[in-house]
Amino acid sequence: MKFFRSALRSFSLGLLTRRTLRTLDRLEARLTEQNTYLKRLADHFAPTVDPNQPAPEQSVDFLNGTEAGLVLDYIERTHRDTGRPPTDEEILRYLADEATIDLTSRMEER
């Protein structure tokens, strides 16, 4: 009887181990599938950048000749007065102020 219990116990332990291993194999397959989908999503929404490829030009040149002259004069003046070049935000604010002043003077001339 003892032998029978021992044999039954080791047989059931073997079946339990086999079932656990099958479940783990299925989990591994599902995780691999999910990782594939997640990688595709990540590549779609945040593609990796090749470090050997040069970065694209980030700035846009939209100034006409008059605005370019105003900006260069403003940069020189600000650098001379403050000892540092102006930030992009300060330059854009200056251009907006100049455009407003120019528009106001044209409206007053009419």
Do 39 and 1 sit in the same domain of this protein? yes
Note whether residue 97 is domain-resident. Answer: yes
pLDDT in tens, the chain (110 residues): 666 677 667 778 888 899 999 999 999 999 999 999 999 999 888 877 777 776 655 454 556 777 888 888 888 998 899 888 888 888 888 888 887 877 677 767 76
Residue with tokens 């009419």: 110
Give the pLDDT confidence score for residue 60 in this predicted structure. Answer: 47
Boundaries of domain holding 15: 1-47
Question: Are 106 and 99 contacting, i.e. CB atoms less than 8 angstroms apart?
Answer: no
Helix axes 65-82, 88-109, angle to 10 degrees: 120
Q: How far is CA 21 from CA 15, 18, 28, 35, 41, in A?
A: 10, 5, 10, 21, 30
Q: Are 70 and 98 in contact (CB under 8 A)?
A: yes
Looking at the domain assignment, is residue 92 inside a domain?
A: yes
Quick check: pTM over 0.95?
A: no
